Amino acid sequence: MYPRKFEYIAPNRVEDVLRLLRKYRDEAKILAGGHSLLPMMKLRIIGPNVLIDLKNLRDKLAYIRDSGRVVRLGALTTHAEIEQSNTLRRDIPLLPEVASLIGDMQVRNLGTVGGSLAHCDPAGDWAVAMLALDSSVAIQGERRRVIPISRFLKGPFTTALRPTELLTEITIPKPPKGHGWSWKKFERKAGDFATVNVAAVVIPDRRGTVKKASIAVGAVSPVAYRASAAEIMLRGKRPDSELLRRAAEAAAEPASPISDLRGSAEYKKWLTTVMVKRALEEALNRAGISVEVSKHA
């Protein structure tokens, strides 16, 4: 399968990319790792007239930078680099775990975190993880702006990026040491898109209760979301299994899945509660908070 004809350019400077974006606007597409864009071009779902390849910008836009309280990821950092990063394994272990379950080795070698976020597939993994970690993204246009990831993700394949802007960096605050985390991605087969994916981060306080829980859910709504109602239910609690069950139900409440080859809408909604519950159990466990089995559960 061949993509539709297009013209190609691989600039050496970010400024040139921005200038070209201003020139071609919607006619142009940015090529990063290409593992979402090229398949869609081959299937002729999209057919940009101009492809702006970022391959010469790796020395500027691919990095994992430990900046003390936050980690900065250059937009061109690959899934494989995140998977293998010792900094991230130590400080934000959720991220290498997410990376390790994306596609397969070959896909992870080329696919990039910025490309995936800008592509904004409703079943994508990074949006969910970055939401749970309260990340923000840096966007370069004529000016640079930094916005929270929650305001970046707008809908299916839709972000806050304007046609003349480039996603350059993702900033992730380090959760405190001793936090618990979990990544539950349910897939039909290895390397498939998620049927549902859930990220949970639990920060315990000294008394062994939940100081803060963050839960993000993907693949079952037009865009990944934070399960705020469930998070509030858990705050300040030492949850028992009954509370987890109710929190999981609350977390699945906003889900509006579609029936497709990965399952019916009803099934996916039920699966969401199951995966949120498992994610919470694992995150609580890693945070050193034991969950008592309640009589009613």
Amino acid found at 67: S
Q: Which of 136, 262, 118, 126 has its CA nearest to residue 188?
A: 262
Residue 14 binding other proteins, by CB under 8 A: no
Instruction: Estimate the crossing angle of helix 241-252 against helix 265-286, to 10 degrees.
Output: 130
CA distance 194 to 122: 10
Query: What is the smallest separation between the CB atom of 210 and other proteins, expressed in angstroms?
Result: 33
Task: From 36-44, 131-139, 154-162, 195-203, give the range in contact with other proteins by CB under 8 A.
Answer: 36-44
Residue 55, interface with other proteins (CB under 8 A)?
A: yes
**10 near other proteins (CB under 8 A):** yes
104 or 260: CB nearest other proteins: 104
Q: Is 46 in the site for other proteins (CB under 8 A)?
A: no
Q: Which of 38, 70, 265, 291 binds other proteins (CB under 8 A)?
A: 38
9 touches other proteins by CB under 8 A: yes
For position 89 contacting other proteins by CB under 8 A, the verdict is no
| Interaction of residue 78 with other proteins, rule CB under 8 A | yes
Return the number of the residue (4 or 144) whose C-beta is nearest other proteins. 4
Instruction: Determine, following the binding rule CB under 8 A, whether residue 107 of this chain makes contact with other proteins.
Output: yes
End-to-end CA distance of the chain: 53
Exactly one of 66, 89, 109, 291 binds other proteins (CB under 8 A); that residue is: 109
Smallest gap from Cβ 106 to other proteins, in A, equals 5
The number of CA neighbours under 13 Å toward the Cβ of 270 is 6
Q: Of 187 and 249, which CB lies nearer to other proteins in the complex structure? A: 187
CB–CB of 117/170 below 8 Å? yes
Q: Which residue from 22, 58, 212, 237 is in contact with other proteins, where contact means CB under 8 A?
A: 58
Cβ closest to other proteins, residue 88 vs residue 210: 88
- State yes or no: residue 1 binds other proteins (CB under 8 A): yes
> Which parts of this chain interact with other proteins (CB under 8 A)?
1-10, 20, 31, 33-35, 38-39, 41-43, 50-51, 53, 55, 58, 62, 78, 80-81, 103-107, 109-110, 190-191
